[in-house]
Structure 1
Amino acid sequence: MGEFHKSSYSLANSECVEVAEGRTTLVRDSQRRDLGHLAFPASEWRALLADIDSL
C-alpha cells in the first residue's frame, strides 16, 4: 500500500482529503485522520477520477 498524500490542488490551510493508492485506494479526511479511512477498489477509484475529468 502506498503512503497517504494530499492532492496537488490542495491549499495549505484548506480542508481536503488524503489518498493512498494501491490495489485498494484509501481516502481519509486530512483534518480528522483519527476517524479512519474509506477503502475503494482501485478500479472504482480510477472510474471516479475519469468521471470527474469528463465534467
Structure 2
Amino acid sequence: MNTARRGTPDLSGAKWRSSSYSGGNNECLELAHGIPVLAPIRDSKDPAGPVIVFGRDAWRAFLPHLG
C-alpha cells in the first residue's frame, strides 16, 4: 500500500461499497475494500470529501452496536 505520508493510505484505486441497509438511496456510509488492516469510511453523498480510517478490528468491534 502506498502512502502519501506515514499513516495516510493511498485510496485512489479503492473499491467503495455501500451498506446493504442503504436501500440504494445514496445516503449511507461506504467502506473501501481491499485495504489491508484498515477500514476507510466515507459519506456516499460526498465521495470526494473526507475519509475516516479505522483499523479493521476497531471497525468490526463497532458494527454490532449499530442499529
1:10 has 2:22 as partner: yes
Tell me which of the two structures has the higher relative contact order, counting C-alpha pairs closer than 8 angstroms and 6 or more residues apart.
Answer: 1
After superposition, the CA RMSD in angstroms is 2.1
Any stretches of 5+ residues in structure 1 without a counterpart? Answer: none
Please say which structure displays the higher CA radius of gyration.
2
TM-score for both structures, normalised by structure 1: 0.75
TM-score for both structures, normalised by structure 2: 0.64
Question: Which contiguous aligned blocks of 4+ residues in structure 1 show a shift greater than 3 angstroms?
Answer: none
The aligned amino acid for 1:39 is: V
**Which has the larger share of strand?**
2
**Which has the larger share of helix?**
1
Any stretches of 5+ residues in structure 2 without a counterpart? Answer: 2-13
Q: Give the drift of 1:33.
A: 1.0
What are the equivalent positions in structure 2 for 1:1-55 lying under 5 Å apart? 3-21=15-33, 22-52=36-66
Partner SS for 1:4: strand
% same residue = 34
